[in-house]
Amino acid sequence: MRLVRITSVLAVAGVAVWAALPGGVAAAQTPEPAAATTATAAASQARAVTLITGDTVRVSSVNGQTAVDVQPAKGREKVPFVTSSAGGNVRVIPADAAGLLASGRLDARLFDVSTLLSFGYDDTRRTLPLLIQGTVQPSGARLTRQLDGVVAYEQDRGKPAELWQSLTSVGQLRSGVTKVWLDGLREPTLDVSVPLIGAPAAWQAGLTGTGVKVAVIDSGVDLQHPDLAGQVDAAEDFTGSGDLTDYVGHGTHVASTIVGTGAASDGKYKGVAPGAKLLSAKVCEVEGCPESSILAGMQWAAEQGATVANMSLGGDDTPDVDPIEAAVHDLTARYGMLFVIAAGNSGLAGDVTINSPGSAEDALTVGAVTKTKELADFSSRGPRTADATVKPDITAPGVAIVAARSSASDLAPIDGNEAYTQLDGTSMATPHVAGAAALLAQEHPQWRATQLKATLTAAAAPDDNLGPYEQGAGLVDVARAIDQKVTADPVSLGIERGTTSQNRTITYANSSATPVTLNLALRTNAPDGLFKLSAPTVTVPAGGNATVTVTAGPGAALPDEPYGGEVTASAGTVRVETPIALDIARHTLTVSTPGVTGDNPRWVTMLTDLDRQTISAIAHTGDSTQVRLRAGRYVAQSYLFTGSEEDPAITSLADPAVTLDADRTVTMDARAAKPVAITVPDRTAVPAYNEAGWTIRTQAPQIWGANDPYDVLMNVNFARLRTGPASGSKKATGFVSYVSGSWAQSVVNSPAVYRVYFYERDRMMAGKTKALRAGDFATVRSRVGSDVPGVPVNRLAVARAPGNSAVYRSTDGRQSPLSFNYDVPRSIVEYYNRDQQTEWLISSSQPGYTHYESDWTSWQPGRAYDEKWASGVEGPVFPEPEFDQQYATRYFGDTIGGPGPLHGDGSGHEGFRFLNGGNVDVRLYRNGTEVGRSAWAPDAFQVPAESGDYRLHARFQSDPAFTRSTLVDAEWTFKSAHVADGKLVHLPMTAVRFSPDLDINNTAPGGRPYALPISLDRQVGAAPAKTKSLSVEASFDDGKTWRHLVVIRTGEKAVALVWNPRGKGFVSLRASAADTAGNTVRQTVIRAYRYQ
């Protein structure tokens, strides 16, 4: 069993199953748009990443929602994929990899698409770097480095499936292959700060680090910097560049904090241990630090005789031990080298944010404080992911740290001295502790890592306002450490809350020549009696040990939050600090899987933590599996695969209401599942995709687009799928399970498409059998225009139960399981069923150029509806907001966002254009003064809190490929003032929307009078006001001259009368309106429509 954590801060969850069915319609080849670049709003261009299996995943954003599509490699079309998306964190697990993940033979990051993308390992890179443990040289990959215990390879993405085939056979690794890891990237995470940790007192005692080698495993160093002259004992490049230059600047800054002489500042910015010698292992480049390079640098540093190794780098931690964490343990044990490692800079995300390899047991893990000793907000907090272990171990200054600047870097120099730069981070705190360890190592040259770590933590100075998971033992105090004669083992106690009292032992060691009687005291934030000591004092003999027992009570009735503090052992000037923590309860969740029939059963279980909003993925085999989880509310979903790896039968079971307040068992009995069998009345239509799953809404979404669901997708034939509830599962409010699908004759220019969605609230659906008839569908006839000639339209539809979220798909133009392509302009027919209150959202896009989207809509079965898409006039619109979100708003107190969509169509569909060769200019003015400018629409601007008169101006010049609405220029005026925190105010803005009766080519007849229907669309949710005035002008020469039109207005509707000229050409439109509250709008659309 392996557990993988996926983190999100979003508030919606969902699971689904999709399929491009065997024997169904084939995927179409869609023409790629030429040189498409970033969209200006709702639809972002997809990024593609090819997995180690050769399958390609594409991830994009649709109106702030993460959209994921999977394209199996050739020959793998029947392989299912479990695809989870948690607030944009995407993971795709092919079914034939599930068993290898369960046995720990594959690194889970190989299928963590978001991590691969963040590393830059998308398909713009020709190779995928790997670490392979074993004796076999696989095909489809090139050996790049032989390491101690593993070999680094690069997979050739030009042969995407060859490596997977050479590594695996029938779901197993081939003989001679032990494990495969991703060769991922880790990120590089003094005049006041050095004295703050007591270094001058050590210098006065004659300790400067002389005779000690300190390795900095980082981005290299500036070998020409005055502060490092004569300080570098050896330097080596492990990046493969053959260049020792520090282009990042991180390594130089870190190194000078340890060994810098301060020569370029007359000693002002001297490092902690200027007498020590530096070993520089360059393992990081501008794009990051490859793990194979880090491993090689660690080994080299140990072999070079380093006493201390500084690693101011890290990445996301998992419960498993990764190769770098394993190397920390191995090299510490073999060489006695102390690894001083940054805790990470993820503290704003809360607890359990310690980075790897700072999570390693043997590491001395460093958090950051300010120069006034306050915890830095970015400093990562414990406990570590796997258990209640206290991390960080210690803190040091890490804010506004001035140290040496590499002349080859882009880092900004400090005022008045090009030789230095100022940086923040636990990366900056870590070298302070590494330098302190070097001073201590000079005093005690025979000491190994464990003694150095124990002494530094024992002598640290805790802050009474901070807990152990924030500061560990406290601020490093090297002045005290050099005289420290008593230490504690372990250096901290991290205990999981249990149902009974728990005892832990602290062993005190006295290296002095006289016995010491220690007075013991507890300082905690816990209620009285939660922690107890076995004795008030303990006498430690000279050169000997003594123990004391710490008892932690169960605390069952206490709130779910960590409690802790320190055990302080003192005797005169002697003081030993041992942090103790009682983490929130962890319980064992047993997933029992009886009733399995079929060959080769494999399970993948997804555990959605509703309290912390994360997803854990467990791959397992056998009759049951167990996992330790923090107490809380969970949704448990299990998939059972049986039969072949390539085309398995699948059973999907879920319990939406798991309350983990004690050890629990969830029983996923496959016998409770029922088949899914749905048919449509047109027997010539075949399944294009099938989907079954669930969503859950846990709370209101965050302001500005935080409405992304969790989802899990799998390609599987309904004929091979069964679904059902877990045994004894309870109802869960807000939970919706569903089945959905599409049927058509073809995915290209299909004469008709049938779209189906059924749902059930509060529980997991037990299959679904339904033979649909013609009367069960609404007929929707859509006339679809073309904005860019020759580019097909891609049509998508997603459904939901009201109040819940849907699962979105990519709109980058490649065939999605839910999409259908059409040559346009044309009229199309779609059929939609309506189960209960089902709502549909339709999108229609010319990939790389446009994206239109409907409001959530319901149609009545048995009725026919007519719609227009990409119909003129394309211009500003204010569509119905979803979950109280919108574009033109004031929120977070003093942030103004806007404008709204600038290219909605005449029917009012939300619309956006990709920039490509166009340009955007957005400006915000307050009381006549510009306060914000952007080349994006929409964007956000910070403004003063006081009330003001605002003018928001947006100008969008479209790419030359567009022939209509080539220029949209809009300007709104309104008043706005500070809004309360957590509130969102819709700005009082109106769009003037023209809806002429154009033909399918968006052309009006020439040489005759013509009516222009107008809607004055006020932003939904804005303060009420009525239109007071409206004027409209037309131009027949692209805006050089204008003519006023006759306007007949009734309330918020109007008609303007224009006489279209003879011949052929374009009409441009300009409108101005004001409302009764004094808000105005003025908008111009050049080439609004054709006439002929």
Active site amino acids: 218, 250, 427
Closest CA to 188 of 238, 277, 253: 253
Contact 373, 360 (CB under 8 A): no
952's CB contacts (< 8 A; 6+ apart) are: 888, 896, 898, 899, 922, 923, 924, 925, 971, 972, 973, 974, 989
| Strand pairing category for 967-976 and 1080-1091 | antiparallel
In the chain, the N- to C-terminal Cα span, in Å, equals 69
Contact 901, 877 (CB under 8 A): yes
Number of neighbouring beta carbons within 10 Å of residue 1063: 9
For 662, the token pair is 């004690």
Amino acid of residue 307: T
Contact 257, 271 (CB under 8 A): yes
- Per-residue H/E/C for 599-659: CCCEEEEEEEECCCCEEEEEEECCCEEEEEEECEEEEEEEEEEECCCCCCEEEEEEEEEEE
Contact 787, 914 (CB under 8 A): no
What gap in Å lies between CA 525 and CA 534, rounded to an integer? 19
- Four-residue CA torsion sign, 519, 525, 528, 531: negative
Instruction: Give me the residue label for tokens 């200054």.
Output: 397
For 868, the token pair is 């227009």
What gap in Å lies between CA 150 and CA 129, rounded to an integer? 13
Beta-ladder partners of 475 = 395, 461
State whether residue 709 is helix, strand or coil: coil
Instruction: Give me the residue label for tokens 């006489």.
Output: 1059
- Per-residue H/E/C for 1007-1066: CEEEEEEEEEEECCCCCCCCEEEEEEEEECCCCCCCEECEEEEECCEEEEEEEECCCCEE
Amino acid of residue 316: D
Closest CA to 42 of 709, 904, 835, 994: 904
Amino acid of residue 806: A
Please report, for the chain, how many H helices and E strands are present, in that order. 12, 74
Instruction: Give me the residue label for tokens 């908008």.
Output: 1083
C-alpha dihedral, 249 to 254 to 256 to 257, nearest 10°: 140
What gap in Å lies between CA 883 and CA 1086, rounded to an integer? 34
Beta-ladder partners of 1059 = 1009
Contact 469, 351 (CB under 8 A): yes
Structural Rg of the chain based on CA atoms? 32
C-alpha dihedral, 557 to 560 to 562 to 564, nearest 10°: -20
Give the chain's largest Cα–Cα span.
110
What gap in Å lies between CA 668 and CA 651, rounded to an integer? 10
446's CB contacts (< 8 A; 6+ apart) are: none
Distances (CA, A) of 997 to 980, 1037, 1043: 44, 22, 21
What gap in Å lies between CA 435 and CA 271, rounded to an integer? 8
